[in-house]
Structure 1
Amino acid sequence: MKAWATRSVSDFPAGKAVKLRATQNIISACKLNGSVKLYRNFILIV
């Protein structure tokens, strides 16, 4: 899952760096809490 997230990160346009940084923070928070379901739902929203 981490590798997939890394690939997705490199696909983001440069203009969305701020959103990207927020996305990484949310993903990290989800992993820290062990909320795999929340993580997957967030990816679908993004």
Structure 2
Amino acid sequence: MKNRLFTMMAVFGMTVLTFVAQTVSASACIWSAYQPEEPKLLREE
């Protein structure tokens, strides 16, 4: 019983943390939190 409870809590925790990580990484560009510099080869001058 104790082992099953631990397993369920671990799975739930991994699910929540994976969701949070994907949400933050996908929305970083929307929030302008990460704006990498454009490489010189790709710039239109």
| Bigger RCO (CA 8 Å, 6+ sep) | 1
TM-score by length of 2: 0.42
TM-score by length of 1: 0.41
Which structure has the bigger radius of gyration?
2
